[in-house]
Chains A and B, each alone.
Chain A
Amino acid sequence: MKFRRWAVLGAAALMAGMTFATTAEAQNEQFIPGLVYRTGAYAPNGIPFADGAADYINMINARDGGINGVKILFEECETGYATDRGVECYERLKGKGPTGAAYFSPLSTGITFALTEKAPGDKIPLLTMGYGRADSRDGSVFTWNFPLMGTYWTAANVAIQHIAKEWGGFDKLKGKKIALLYHDSPYGKEPIAALEIMSKKYGFEFMQIPVPAPGSEQKSQWLQIRQARPDYVLLWGWGVMNSAAVSEAGNVNYPRDKMLGVWWSGAEPDVLPAGDKAKGYKALMLQHGSGKFAVHKDVEKFVVSQGKSLAKPEEVGQVLYNRGMINSMVGIEAIRTAMAKFGNKPMTGEQVRWGFEHLDLTADRIKQLGFEGMMGPLKPSCADHEGTRLSRVHQWDGKEWKVISDYYTGDDSILLPLVKEVAGKYAAEKKITPRDCSKES
């Protein structure tokens, strides 16, 4: 028995070392984890998002005392955008709080792919707002994924719609050349499937130009663009790749107003380093842009002015800060929706999942929450985990982002068959039987 006792002691000591970070937990608290990256190559974009997400949660705690009286417990874990660290963070945080983590938002396509395999077993929803697997919109297969507000296929479709509108109609796309300059990772590759379909349908030539991660070196790619002279360049970058692309476009004198970034390539850290070269550059919006709205007053009053925010003053109201806030707001509203059914107590992941699926953010509710002007109505369902297919375009004028378009709606006649096909393939590979959405309540 001697060595077994040693084993128990040793393992206990190890675990004490691992978990002495846990604080005493109250029973009436809802735990929300934050997978963030404040360091590494993607930190310039990761920091404002993390600050926005944290500040909104702190504001709800300070102003309302939590969600319907249930205080929010919030803890960050640094992933550095690395998948294995993200998985470690997920394992570390998923069981915290009286009911475990409410949802996870990893803000990384790689981590999302890895967690997609783990979430169903742990019964924790993944809120991947504007990123993640595009086929996870099909809630009958991807029960636990919520790519709310937009997937990359919606983004690709809206981008082509905008280009067509600029040129005066879809028939003008014929014979034109559109290039996709993308981050060479699942994130950057996601839109290709949708763009290939549209290239066949509308008759434009589709050029793929990959940029190896992290994307700070793009000389050869822009040489290729200068030689091939595409009529439009779609930019699917993240972090340092965006500003490098915009600068290089300036260097080879490719017109910046013929460049359209995805919503992860359309924030202040993407254009500010490029200076004057960024003027005229356009990007899709995940509905919202920069600027301060009604909700910012409360955030400033209860969090920023109290010195509780990590954000720099100029960061508040930036694109990614606002996105972090919306991310937390949507998550909190899903918890609130779940509470309406299950009672005002800390929700389990399973209950929050129900909340996401039955979330109904009407224009009135959005106004009440102080987000009017930032987003349109959002109503996910069992079959549609995206909830909306709206997007706009904004343009950098050298000082700030100006909204230059109306709302576009993703074209489901193109998107839906693709979602069904790819999600079906995933279900077959993983031996998942899709849920029957007509029987869900």
Chain B
Amino acid sequence: MIYREAGQYKVTYEADQAIFPIAQDRFVMLALLAIAFVAVPMVATEYVYRAVLIPTVILALAAIGLNVLMGYCGQVSLGSGAFMGVGAYAAYNLSIHLPFLNPLVSILLSGFVAAGIGILFGIPSLRIKGFYLACATLAAQFFADWAFLRIKWITNYTPSGSVNAPPIQLFGLDLSSPTAIYIVTLAFTVVLGLATKNLVRGHVGRQWMAIRDMDIAAEIIGVRPMYAKLSAFAVSSFLIGVSGAMWAFLYLGSWEPAAFSIDRSFQLMFMVIIGGLGSILGSVLGAIFIVLLPIFLNQALPPLGALVGWRISTATVSHFEEMIFGALIVFFLVVEPHGLARLWAIAKEKLRLWPFPH
């Protein structure tokens, strides 16, 4: 009843090809954007910005990037942390060697550097698949870790190997306030996320999905595997690189290679798997789940313990946080193997029939 497309006639090709063909979707999307851009800044505190919103928004973009590769093109990657790092260090070097560039421009350009490196490490995917490809992308991760630590030029010969972001400004405006950073990261994520959403609906995305579903069949019907796979690597690395540059410039401000370690790769992979493979919305939901849940558990446990008269130490809270977090991941995957995005799809089905289910 609520979610019914009946009566919405599409009389032009434009309407038929629109990114959100159903009016309710358009409305929900606009409402979400309004909430994110207008309502949230009216109520959010600095803590919510810096500890919750900004990391979630940035990692959501990285998760979208990984989903392009894993969910849409079916190429397993354990090197996403490395590509974030490539983006971060590329943006750093661009801002050091081309100081006239605005840092936000550096962030965007760094995506192209990451895309180049992504294509390079995507070449093995033409020959190897599945677990073997996971190993090859793992090599990308370790190579990048090594390069950031050992190639002194990348870190501009700083003694400790830790580097700093330049001050973020735009047209003379200081963008260091949490609200400004949030709006900037959100703008990047929304624009690039919607662009990706469009891309996966077009011929490029269909090629990726054809390769994912059965590469030999795809090849027979005329999909070029090299073009499809490498374009997936390029788009994915671009998005991940931009998010890595944002992570470094807008979230951390100063960072070391450990910020882009293998742990980050696994974190992104969990986001994609829990959120839902092959879904842009799922990537965002996954990022929200993985970033927010540990923080929420960490803060909710002490007062919950106090309710039953149990004073929990910092260490115990941390142990419980990891246990509950792990258990919830397993639980989610057992009850809904297709991720949070599938839950949303089921909800839409129900809303379509409600209140008269068959």
A83 touches B258 (CB 8 A): yes
A377 and B50 alpha carbons, distance in the complex (Å): 39
A431 and B168 alpha carbons, distance in the complex (Å): 11
Residues of chain A lying within 8 A (CB to CB) of residue B259: 83-84, 110
B256-293 interface code vs A (CB 8 A; 1 in, 0 out): 10110000000000000000000000000000000000
Residues of chain A lying within 8 A (CB to CB) of residue B160: 109, 113, 133-134, 186-187, 189-190
Question: At the interface, yes or no: B101 with Cβ under 8 Å from chain A?
Answer: no
Query: What is the number of contacts between chain A and chain B, taking CB atoms within 8 Å?
Result: 150
Max chain A Cβ within 10 angstroms of own Cβ: one of B50, B55, B96, B176: B50
Which of A7, A10, A83, A429 lies in contact with B252, CB distance below 8 A? A83
A78 and B318 alpha carbons, distance in the complex (Å): 7
A399 and B48 alpha carbons, distance in the complex (Å): 49
Smallest beta-carbon distance B72→chain A, Å: 27
Closest B residue to A50 using CB positions: B314
B253 touches A117 (CB 8 A): yes
B159 touches A422 (CB 8 A): yes
Which of A21, A88, A135, A193 lies in contact with B51, CB distance below 8 A? A88
Residues of chain A lying within 8 A (CB to CB) of residue B319: 39
A14 and B40 alpha carbons, distance in the complex (Å): 11
Smallest beta-carbon distance B144→chain A, Å: 14
Smallest beta-carbon distance B351→chain A, Å: 16
B23-42 interface code vs A (CB 8 A; 1 in, 0 out): 00000000100110011101
Interface secondary structure of A, over-half rule: helix
B162 touches A113 (CB 8 A): yes
Which of A11, A19, A109, A213 lies in contact with B39, CB distance below 8 A? A11
A76-B314, A121-B176 given; A7·B253 CB < 8 A: no
Residues of chain A lying within 8 A (CB to CB) of residue B158: 422, 425
Interface secondary structure of B, over-half rule: helix
Which of B161, B166, B252 lies in contact with A87, CB distance below 8 A? B252
B299 touches A21 (CB 8 A): yes
A78 touches B253 (CB 8 A): no
A88 and B158 alpha carbons, distance in the complex (Å): 26
Question: At the interface, yes or no: B45 with Cβ under 8 Å from chain A?
Answer: yes
Question: At the interface, yes or no: B303 with Cβ under 8 Å from chain A?
Answer: yes
Smallest beta-carbon distance A365→chain B, Å: 32
Closest A residue to B160 using CB positions: A186
A83-B258, A185-B256 given; A117·B165 CB < 8 A: yes
A97-117 interface code vs B (CB 8 A; 1 in, 0 out): 000000000000110011011
Question: At the interface, yes or no: B126 with Cβ under 8 Å from chain A?
Answer: no
Which of B35, B149, B167 lies in contact with A184, CB distance below 8 A? B149
10 cross-chain pairs, A with B, having the tightest CB-CB distances, nearest first: A117-B253, A7-B39, A38-B315, A193-B159, A186-B160, A186-B162, A91-B51, A7-B35, A78-B318, A88-B51
13 contacts between A and B (CB under 8 A): A8-B42, A12-B43, A17-B300, A18-B295, A78-B315, A84-B259, A91-B47, A114-B253, A116-B254, A117-B165, A134-B160, A426-B164, A430-B166
Hey, which bits of chain B sit against chain A, CB under 8 A? 31, 34-35, 38-40, 42-48, 50-52, 55, 96, 149, 158-162, 164-167, 176, 251-256, 258-259, 295-296, 298-300, 302-303, 313-315, 317-319, 322
Known: A8-B43, A310-B313, A426-B164. 6 other contacts (CB 8 A): A3-B39, A4-B34, A15-B44, A78-B318, A109-B160, A186-B256
